[in-house]
Structure 1
Amino acid sequence: MPKIRFILSKQPDPALEEAAIIKRLKEFHSRLQDKRQISDGIPLEERAAHNELWRYPQNELPKALEIRIRRWAQKIHRNHLKDVEPTRLSREDRAMLEGCRGGAEIFDLRSAHHIDEIAAALHAEFPWIAEATTHVWRSLHHSLASGMPGARFAPILLDGPPGIGKSAWARRLAQLLGTPDMIVDATGENASFGLVGSQRGWSNAGPGRLVSLMLMRQIANPLVIIDEIEKSGSVMSDKGRSFSLPNALLPLLEEMTACRWTCPYFQNQFDMSFINWVFTSNSLRGLPEPLVSRIRVVSVPSPTQEQINELVLREAERRQLSPLITAAITTALAEAFEAGHQINIRTVKRMLELGSDQQGRPMLH
Structure 2
Amino acid sequence: MPKIRFILSKQPDPALEEVAIIKRLEEFYTALQDKRQISDGIPQEERAAHNELWRYPQNELPKALEIRIRRWAQKIHRHHLKEVETTRLSIEDRSTLEGCRNGAEIFDLRSKHRIDEIAAALHAEFPWLAEATTHVWRSLHQNLTGGMPGARFAPILLDGPPGVGKSAWARRLAQLLGTPDMILDATGENASFGLVGSQRGWSSAGPGRLIRLMLMRQIANPLVIIDEIEKSGSVMSDKGRSFSLPNALLPLLEDLTASRWTCPYFQTQFNMSFVNWVFTSNSQRGLPEPLLSRIRVVSVPSPTQGQINDLVLRESAKRQLSPSITAAITTALAGAFEAGQQINIRSVKRMLDLGSDQKNRPVLH
Same fold (TM over 0.5): yes
Partner of 1:143: 143
1:302-342 per-residue CA deviation (whole Å, 9 max, x = no partner) reads 01111111100100000000011111111111111111110
Residues 120 and 64 from structure 1, CA distance in 2 versus in 1: closer, same or farther, beyond 3 angstroms?
Answer: same
Residues 176 and 35 from structure 1, CA distance in 2 versus in 1: closer, same or farther, beyond 3 angstroms?
Answer: closer
Displacement of 1:204 after TM fit? 1.9
Contact 1:48 1:54 in 2 (8 A): no
Partner of 2:340: 340
Partner of 1:152: 152
1:85-142 per-residue CA deviation (whole Å, 9 max, x = no partner) reads 2442112111111111111111111211111111111111000011101111111111
Q: Secondary structure at the match of 1:154?
A: coil
Q: Secondary structure at the match of 1:265?
A: coil
Q: Secondary structure at the match of 1:224?
A: strand
Aligned partners of 2:184 and 2:235: how far apart in 1?
A: 17
User: 2:22 aligned with 1:29, yes or no?
Assistant: no
Partner of 1:312: 312
Aligned length: 362
User: 2:98 aligned with 1:98, yes or no?
Assistant: yes
Q: Secondary structure at the match of 1:200?
A: coil
Displacement of 1:146 after TM fit? 0.2
Residues 56 and 175 from structure 1, CA distance in 2 versus in 1: closer, same or farther, beyond 3 angstroms?
Answer: closer
User: 2:349 aligned with 1:349, yes or no?
Assistant: yes
Displacement of 1:68 after TM fit? 4.1
Amino acid in structure 2 at the alignment position of 1:287: L
User: 2:296 aligned with 1:296, yes or no?
Assistant: yes
Partner of 1:272: 272
Residues 300 and 54 from structure 1, CA distance in 2 versus in 1: closer, same or farther, beyond 3 angstroms?
Answer: closer
Amino acid in structure 2 at the alignment position of 1:106: I
Aligned partners of 1:104 and 1:55: how far apart in 2?
A: 42
User: 2:230 aligned with 1:230, yes or no?
Assistant: yes
Q: Secondary structure at the match of 1:188?
A: coil
Displacement of 1:10 after TM fit? 1.1
- Structure 1, unaligned runs of 5 or more: none
Partner of 1:184: 184
Alignment of 1:117-266 (within 5 A): 117-266=117-266
Aligned partners of 1:60 and 1:332: how far apart in 2?
A: 86
Contact 1:87 1:266 in 2 (8 A): no
Q: Secondary structure at the match of 2:306?
A: helix
1:2-49 per-residue CA deviation (whole Å, 9 max, x = no partner) reads 11111111122222122210112212333454566778x573577899
Amino acid in structure 1 at the alignment position of 2:144: L
Aligned partners of 1:310 and 1:47: how far apart in 2?
A: 84
1:43-81 per-residue CA deviation (whole Å, 9 max, x = no partner) reads 35778999xx96975762244543443343233223312
Identical-residue share of aligned pairs (%): 86
Partner of 2:113: 113
Contact 2:252 2:258 in 1 (8 A): yes
Partner of 1:43: 42
Aligned partners of 1:55 and 1:7: how far apart in 2?
A: 41
Aligned partners of 2:199 and 2:294: how far apart in 1?
A: 26
Task: Answer with 11-20 or 142-151: which moved more.
Answer: 11-20
Q: Secondary structure at the match of 1:332?
A: helix
Aligned partners of 1:120 and 1:184: how far apart in 2?
A: 27
Task: Answer with 217-226 or 53-62: which moved more.
Answer: 53-62
Amino acid in structure 2 at the alignment position of 1:131: E
Aligned partners of 1:164 and 1:258: how far apart in 2?
A: 31
Amino acid in structure 2 at the alignment position of 1:347: S
Amino acid in structure 2 at the alignment position of 1:243: F
Cα RMSD over matched residues?
2.2
Partner of 1:11: 11
Contact 1:49 1:55 in 2 (8 A): no
